[in-house]
């Protein structure tokens, strides 16, 4: 169990499941969306995501047709993404989790697009493409 919130605190979430693994994506879209070298996500079954507060603050952006990127419209924090054809899973941005996360990095995706200034130093699996 974890709690999560956006930068302004308007959105408060509860994650009612364990998060054993974090997946890192280095693609250009994720760099832009996070304003950083990569995104770090955990796939969560949508049924385990509980919205405690902030329903009216959710906003979404489609960089690609089939995937919505959900963020807080007050503070801009990225919250999760979800494929329209896979609504039962969200990809939580693990940076919004409030508690220390005892997860390890499972893999790096789209490593050919990695930021030049960032070096991958862990031994996790590396993929030239996304996982799905
Ligand atoms: Zn916010
Ligand atoms: Zn990506």
**Nearest Cα to Cα of residue 34 among 97, 90, 80:** 80
pLDDT of residue 131: 66
| Distance in Å, CA 7 to ligand 1 centroid | 5
Residue 37: HSE in the Cβ half-sphere, 13 Å Cα cutoff: 11
- For residue 11, which ligand has an atom nearest its CA? 1
Task: Supply the pLDDT for residue 59.
Answer: 98
Average pLDDT over residues 105-115: 97
Q: What is the mean pLDDT of residues 101-130?
A: 96
Q: What is the pLDDT of residues 39-95, one digit of tens each?
A: 999 999 999 999 999 999 999 999 999 999 999 999 999 999 999 999 999 999 999
Q: If you ran DSSP here, which 8-state letter would residue 113 be given? A: G
Q: Residue 130's pLDDT band (boundaries 50, 70, 90)?
A: confident
Task: Could you please state the CATH topology (level 3) that the domain comprising 2-126 is classified under.
Answer: 2.170.150
Sketch the domain layout of the chain as residue ranges: 2-126
Q: Which of 92, 96, 105, 104 is nearest to 17 (CA)?
A: 92
Q: How far is the CA of 51 from the centre of ligand 1 (A)?
A: 13
Q: Does the structure show a pLDDT above 60 at 106?
A: yes
- 42 alpha carbon to ligand 2 midpoint, in Å? 13
β 67-72/78-83 pair status: antiparallel
The neighbour count for residue 4, using CB atoms within 10 Å, is 22
CA of 129 to the centre of ligand 2 (A): 9
Q: Which residues surround ligand 2, an ion (CB under 5 A)?
A: 25, 27, 30
Residue 9: count other Cβ atoms within 10 Å of its Cβ.
13
Take residue 45 and report the two structure tokens written for it. 């079954």
């Amino acid at each position: 169990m974890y709690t999560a919130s956006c930068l302004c605190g308007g959105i408060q979430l509860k994650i009612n499941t364990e998060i054993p693994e974090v997946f890192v994506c280095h693609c250009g879209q994720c760099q832009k969306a996070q304003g950083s070298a990569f995104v770090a996500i955990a796939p969560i079954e949508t049924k385990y995501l509980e919205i405690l507060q902030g329903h009216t603050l959710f906003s979404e952006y489609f960089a690609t047709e089939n995937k919505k990127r959900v963020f807080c419209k007050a503070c801009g924090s990225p919250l999760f993404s979800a494929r329209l054809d896979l609504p039962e899973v969200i990809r939580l941005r693990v940076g919004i989790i409030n508690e220390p996360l005892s997860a390890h990095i499972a893999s790096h995706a789209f490593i050919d697009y990695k930021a030049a200034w960032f070096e991958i130093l862990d031994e996790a699996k590396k993929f030239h493409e996304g996982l799905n």
